[in-house]
Amino acid sequence: MIKKEQIDWLRRVRDHVANSFHIDRDDLEMSPFDGQGGLGKMVQLFGAKMEPLLDELNEVLVA
């Protein structure tokens, strides 16, 4: 089940990709992600699914 906090993070990722056309782990240590816990928080929320999720978002949102 997806949590509200996960949805909030996915929206931030979407907004970032919309402006920069790509997201990777390093981006999660910059604004606006750093103010919300950065890479560590995203790993906590999504675990092993984080990397495949970022890959899929990069592929789908840029297309």
Per-residue pLDDT, averaged over 1-14, amounts to 91
| Structural domains counted in the chain | 1
pLDDT tens-digit series, residues 14-45? 899 888 888 999 999 999 999 999 999 999 99
Distance of CA 52 to the CA centre of its chain: 11
Say which amino acid occupies 1.
Answer: M
Tell me the pTM.
Answer: 0.80
Range of the domain at 35: 4-62
Q: CA distances (Å), 1 to each of 7, 19, 45, 46, 56, in order?
A: 11, 28, 12, 11, 19
How many residues are there in the chain? 63
Helical spans, DSSP H, in the chain = 4-20, 38-46, 50-62
